[in-house]
Amino acid sequence: MGWLQLPEALLRELENRHPAPVEVAAGQLQAYTGVVVLGESPERLKASVTLLRQHPHLRLLFTGGDGKWWASGPTEADQAEAFYKRMGVPADRLPYERTSRTTYENAVLGAVVPGVDVAQPWLLLTSARHMPRALAVFRAAGWHMAPYPVDYRRVGFSRWSDYSLARGAVRWQLVLHEAMGLAAFAAVGLADF
């Protein structure tokens, strides 16, 4: 559990599976309608604001409710809305989907937000480790989607002798969460990973 090499190798594999397309990596985003941001994380929020400032034609769809079944308090979308207001993002560039609890619900509920056309090309902005599952879910839901991965967790290679129960447990949790999601999605025959 505390040996770091195996979970780090698995994270690297997940994070490298769907790099941004060449034109996206080069900042050539004229062909894209907008960016779908999944859930609230500092890296995702920061990257989405940068994209919107650099590419004024892009719209942004933030999708995220509360991952708990009996939620109380503000949703991720409510918190993101406050952040985007502080950053000066015009409200007309930013619809929100506020009820989703899962990646599948992000895709399905985001598709019916007024003004969203899933047939148009969109960028999917999420954590690199989450991209394989998220991209498969969105494409299976009918979205015309390209990856825009952020929030890479790996920072190089650990020595073979590195051991840490705390860091190992965190890395295993990240890997297993994505692996279980990929397996469940594949089990129902909705995607090829």
The half-sphere exposure of 102 on its side-chain side, counting CA atoms within 13 A, is: 12
pLDDT of amino acid 193 = 44
Residue at 126 is within a domain: yes
Residue 88 counted as domain residue: yes
Please indicate, yes or no, if residue 161 is contained in any of the structural domains: no
Inter-residue contact 3 to 163 (CB < 8 Å): yes
Domain holding 73: CATH number? 3.40.50.620
Q: Is residue 29 part of a domain?
A: yes
Q: Is the pLDDT higher at 51 or at 73?
A: 51
Q: What is the mean pLDDT of residues 22-43?
A: 90
CA 133 – CA 156 distance, rounded (Å):
23
pLDDT in tens, 150-188: 988 765 555 555 655 567 677 777 777 777 777 777 776
Q: Answer yes or no: is 67 within a domain.
A: yes
Residue 177 and residue 132 in contact, taking contact as beta carbons nearer than 8 Å: no
- What pLDDT score was predicted for residue 181? 76
Q: Give the burial class of 114: count Cβ atoms within 10 A of its Cβ; 0-12 exposed, 13-18 middle, 19 or more buried.
A: exposed
Six-digit token string for 149? 């991965």
Asked if the structure places residue 37 within a domain, the reply is yes
- What pLDDT, in 10s, does the model give residues 93-148? 899 999 998 999 999 999 999 999 999 999 999 999 999 999 999 999 999 999 99
Q: Is residue 168 part of a domain?
A: no
The pLDDT score that the predictor gives to residue 169 is 74
Q: Are 40 and 48 in contact (CB under 8 A)?
A: no
- Please give the residue range of the domain that contains residue 58: 18-152
What is the per-residue pLDDT across 61-79, written as a single tens digit (0 to 9) for each?
999 988 666 667 789 999 9
Domain count, the chain: 1
162 falls within a domain? no
Q: What is the DSSP letter of 115?
A: T
E strand residue ranges, 42-165: 59-63, 96-97, 121-127, 144-150
**Per-residue pLDDT for 3 more than 60?**
no
Give every strand in the sheet of 144-150, ordered side by side.
96-97, 59-63, 34-38, 121-127, 144-150
